[in-house]
Amino acid sequence: MHRPLIAIVGRPNVGKSSLFNRLVGANLAIVQDQPGVTRDRHYGSSHIAGHEVIVVDTGGFDPQSEDPMQMGIAQQVRLALEEASVIVCLLDGITPPLPADYEAIQLLREQTKPVLYVANKIDSPKQALGFSDLYSLGIDKIYPVSALHGHGMSDLEVALGKIIPKRETEAFPKLEDVPYVSLLGKPNAGKSSLLNRLLGHEQQLVDSRPGTTVDAIDTLIEKRGQQYVFIDTAGLRKKSSKKDTIESASVFQAIRTLERSDVAVLLIDATLGVVEQDSKIASLIEDRGCALVIGLNKVDLLGREERKKAIRDIRDALAFLAWAPIVELSAKEGRGTNKLLDTARHAYLEHNKRVGTAELNRFFEKVLAHHPPPTTGSRAVRLYYVTQAQTRPPAFVAITNRPKDVHFSYQRYVKNQIRKHFGFEGTPIRVYYRPKKK
């Protein structure tokens, strides 16, 4: 599935994160079923006017620092223009425009993506008169809202509904039964080098869409009788300009790219080990539910012992991804690429794997007999049966009398047992606890 992305841009303090919370709201409260996963609060999925979308608070996207001024408005807008389908330019409706507002509007005017201009902090109709100041910026239509109180939100959502593109997959159908693989990682991890290595000469473009919302080129390759589509996000191959080294860009781009990926390859620079960027992208992948292979790149620069240590360090730093295989690579020397493709294919199959209900319950009975759920509170927790409700990623539903009382450590135990019996290497899995239907 490929959901349109709505980016909120605006200078600090106009209320971007408040508007983001309004738009995404309840969806952020999704139960966190993994410890140690840093959930990013700056993006989330939502339903707006009948569309399933992702909303991103671009201003919150500076992983480098706590200071929101750090990422200038120009960079925010640039990121949004590259990755988003629709842009919401948020302005402060109760204070006169600042230079940063003019700068954002100027940049947005020079392009053709759909933009809505929104004046925030219009908490009462009286204030609505005040925001006319903003019309001096030369915008024809400004939507007044109060992110704090919710005023104006329904008009804004209707307006968004009119300009959100239909799901982009409809325009670009995916090839069936071929894994879509993306290469992610921070700047200089070696993504372009690896992509060039993998593509070699025998490449075939399956989908070229310059100038559309996702300026991506997908490439179909066939290696040893197996096909793969590599998703190339903007700039990976044509990369030359300095702008590609902006760190926040790689996280933002990952959100976009993961929408289209079955398997993500997270490239880690072996000479640096896991840095914060890597953990961030890793939790995005887990969150999104894509299959994952960790590529330890540049191993040509390490000795044998250093390589072992690098792998141990990855396991420590990304403990929540214990299920993700690690492949040692040298994009420079071409080492590990066959192994990477095989591992990606295996992860893809596991991501799509379905375990039958009968088999699952035979296993489940053994688990229960061996280690029943501990009693929390006064009544015993009972688990009745389990089914696999979904694939991509595999999701299981366990029926219980007390969904809220299944202790976290027991949930982890169940997950571990499922992996132990059925594998699922390379894919996240989910287990949901639901009450019996009356």
Binding site for ligand GDP (CB under 6 A): 10, 12-18, 59, 68, 120-121, 123, 146-148, 185, 187-193, 297-298, 300-301, 330-332
Residue 254, H or E segment: helix 247-258
Question: Closer to ligand GDP at the Cβ: 102 or 384?
Answer: 102
SS3 string, 95-153, reads CCCCHHHHHHHHHHHCCCCCEEEEEECCCCHHHHCHHHHHHHHCCCCEEECCCCCCCCH
Q: What are the structure tokens assigned to 96, written together?
A: 């006169």
Nearest approach in angstroms of CB 305 to ligand GDP is 18
8 A C-beta contact, residue 54 and residue 45: yes
Shortest Cβ distance from residue 376 to ligand GDP (Å)?
38
Question: What whole-number distance in Å separates Cα of residue 252 and Cα of residue 203?
Answer: 27
Q: Which residue's entry shows tokens 């990606």?
A: 344
Least separation in angstroms between CB 84 and ligand GDP = 17
Name the residue nearer to ligand GDP (CB basis): 16 or 280.
16
With respect to ligand GDP, which residue has the nearer C-beta, 62 or 350?
62
SS3 sequence, 362-412?
Answer: HHHHHHHHHCCCCCCCCCCCCEEEEEEEECCCCEEEEEECCHHHCCHHHHH
Q: How far is the CB of 143 from ligand GDP (least distance, A)?
A: 13
Residue type, 378: S
- Residue closer to ligand GDP, measured from CB, 3 or 191: 191
Q: Residue 17 or 391: which CB sits closer to ligand GDP?
A: 17
Residue among 250, 268, 239 at smallest CA distance from 329:
268
Contact at 8 Å (CB) between 155 and 129?
A: no
Pick 59 or 394: Cβ nearer ligand GDP: 59
By beta-carbon proximity to ligand GDP, the closer residue of 243 and 379 is 243
Beta strands 204-208 and 180-184, pairing class: unpaired
